[in-house]
Amino acid sequence: MLDSEVDKTNDEDFKRLLGVRKDTYRAMVEIHRKALHDNKKRKNFGRPRALNPENEVLLTLTYYREYRTYLSTAQSYKVDESTAFRVIHTVEKNLIQHPDFQLPGKKVLREERDSALIIDVTESQIERPKKTEKEV
């Protein structure tokens, strides 16, 4: 999916395709765009970016949603594999550094005494052939 197709997709299908709502996607794009603009103030040289910030965020979301390789994700966006790798790590870094997308650490969970933490540790039996049976 390219940025030109985002407005044509309804909200429900967009969330099913990429795992986030459109308003969250737009917030991600603005944070990424601002981080790129701030970085550009420090250095103003080099080739222009292969993708615009909207498509860079879409590439990252597609990579994480579909668990594809860098190569197959890159070919969908018509860029090189190394470009896809670099874009994904840049978008990650820009979003992680923003306070809206930071998760609390372990210390916060330990300090909250009133809340309950539920962990699912259900065991399920794995079916395996008996050692005495011969494999066919």
pLDDT tens string 75-124 = 988 999 999 999 999 999 999 989 888 777 777 767 766 667 677 777 77
CA distances from 42 to 37, 63, 107 (A): 9, 29, 35
**Using CA of residue 12, residue 14, residue 18, residue 24, what is the dihedral sign?**
negative
pTM of the model as a whole: 0.70
**Alpha carbon distance 110, 115 (integer Å):** 10
pLDDT tens digits, 37-57: 887 666 666 777 888 889 999
Residue 98: DSSP 8-state: S
**Is-contact 3 54, C-beta < 8 A?**
yes
Name the residue among 135, 18, 15, 128 with its Cα closest to residue 76: 18
Q: What whole-number distance in Å separates Cα of residue 98 and Cα of residue 2?
A: 24
